Each structure stands twice: as structure tokens, then as C-alpha cells.
């Protein structure tokens, strides 16, 4: 039970730490400009929020970075149509198999993309190296920087954080290797197609 709780904590930290760090960096930059008058109108606040929304809309659609046939090849069986989603400004796509395994879950390919500044990526990476180095393994040749953390492949490229997770071979002895190989195969398709 403790291992599952640790994995859940790491997963939560992995997704929310970059947002917290980005918020802190923005606050520090705002404090540097404290001598400038603060906008007071609702129009100024709305205008300030608009660039972030349009920036998020410009993220690539992960459902267009991997084809259904490629997802089937990675998972080794037929998949349903891709399922787009978003959470907290990121863009997500899930490819799930038609077959449900263990009576509970389909196999899947999960791709999430969010904007990320280099300093936020570096700070998150340092945190993981200090707190969970045994579950973090560097990966060369993909994006600008990449590593496996638990069972996900995390990639930094073009000021974007890309997380790739594959669930397959859950009851096989070579589960960890199968997942790692599948995530690398997905990354080798997805990352070169990002604009």
C-alpha cells in the first residue's frame, strides 16, 4: 500500500510541480515590476488572460501526432478512436484498446503536452533527482532532455513538456521493458512531428 501511495504522490507532483514553479517565477517577475502601476479595470485583466488561452490553443494536438494504426502497432491490438481531452491548460490524447484487460482496463497510449519554460523543467528534474533518483532514468536522443520517471517518459522539447505513458503487458514478466520500449516508439513518432 505504501508503494502505491508513493507512486501516486510522485505522479501528482510530476503534473502539478511545473505549474507551481511557473506561478512562483511569475510572482517573482511581477514583484520586480512592483513600481509600475497595477491595472485596475476588468478589461485589462481579461486582456491579460487572453494571451495564455491563445498560447494553450497553439499547442499541438496530440491526437494528430500519432495515428490510430501506429497506436495499434505499439499496443499490439485494435484501438478505439483517439480521445482528446485537456486539463489545466495542457492537451491530452488517449488511445485505448477495444479489449478490456483483467476485466478492468484497456491497454492505452497517453500523450499530454503543456507549455514549459526551461528553468521550470530544470527545477522539476532536480527535485525528482533528489527525491526519487532510483525511479528516474535519463534517456538520450529524444527532444532536448528526457527521462523515465516510474512508468512514464517525460520529454522537454521546444519549450514544451511532453508526457507519454503506455499501459500494456500488465500481467507479463517483461512488463517494465515492454512499457519502456512502447513509450520510446511513441516518442520517436510524436516528437519529430511537433511544430
For residues 118 and 101, what is the distance between their CA atoms, to the nearest angstrom?
Answer: 38
For 3-60, write each residue's pLDDT tens digit. Answer: 433 443 444 445 444 444 333 333 333 333 333 333 333 333 333 332 322 235 679 9
Alpha helices for 83-148 (secondary structure H): 118-132
Residue 98 and residue 77 in contact, taking contact as beta carbons nearer than 8 Å: yes
Per residue in 151-166, is it b (16+ CB within 10 Å) or e — as a string?
A: bbbbbbbeebbbbbbb
How many Å apart are CA 48 and CA 60, to the nearest integer?
A: 22
What pLDDT is recorded for position 40?
36
Which pLDDT score, from 0 to 100, does residue 56 have? 59
Positive or negative, the CA dihedral 29, 31, 35, 37 is: positive
- Domains along the sequence of the chain with CATH: 2-31+59-193 (3.40.1000)
Which residues in the chain show pLDDT less than 70? Answer: 1-57
Output the nine-digit C-alpha cell for 6.
508513493
pTM listed for this prediction: 0.72
Question: How far, in Å, CA of 188 to CA of 180, rounded?
Answer: 12
- Tell me 76's DSSP state: T
d(CA 37, CA 85): 38
CA distances from 41 to 34, 86, 88 (A): 17, 30, 25
Q: Residue 134 and residue 149: Cα distance in Å, rounded?
A: 9
Amino acid at each position: 500500500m505504501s508503494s502505491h501511495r508513493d507512486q501516486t504522490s510522485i505522479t501528482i507532483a510530476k503534473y502539478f510541480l511545473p505549474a507551481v514553479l511557473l506561478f512562483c517565477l511569475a510572482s517573482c517577475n511581477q514583484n520586480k515590476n512592483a513600481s509600475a502601476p497595477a491595472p485596475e479595470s476588468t478589461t485589462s485583466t481579461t486582456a491579460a488572460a487572453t494571451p495564455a488561452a491563445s498560447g494553450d490553443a497553439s499547442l499541438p494536438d496530440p491526437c494528430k501526432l500519432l495515428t490510430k494504426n501506429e497506436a495499434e502497432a505499439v499496443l499490439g491490438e485494435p484501438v478505439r478512436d483517439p480521445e482528446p481531452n485537456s486539463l489545466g491548460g495542457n492537451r491530452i490524447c488517449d488511445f485505448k484498446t477495444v479489449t478490456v484487460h483483467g476485466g478492468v482496463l484497456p491497454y492505452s497510449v497517453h500523450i499530454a503536452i503543456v507549455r514549459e519554460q526551461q528553468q521550470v523543467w530544470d527545477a522539476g528534474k532536480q527535485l525528482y533527482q533528489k527525491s526519487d533518483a532510483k525511479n528516474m532514468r535519463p534517456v538520450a536522443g529524444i527532444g532536448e532532455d528526457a527521462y523515465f520517471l516510474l512508468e512514464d517518459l517525460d520529454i522537454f522539447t521546444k519549450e514544451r513538456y511532453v508526457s507519454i505513458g503506455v499501459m500494456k503487458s500488465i500481467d507479463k514478466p517483461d512488463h517494465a521493458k515492454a512499457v519502456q520500449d512502447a513509450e520510446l516508439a511513441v516518442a520517436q513518432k510524436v516528437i519529430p512531428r511537433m511544430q
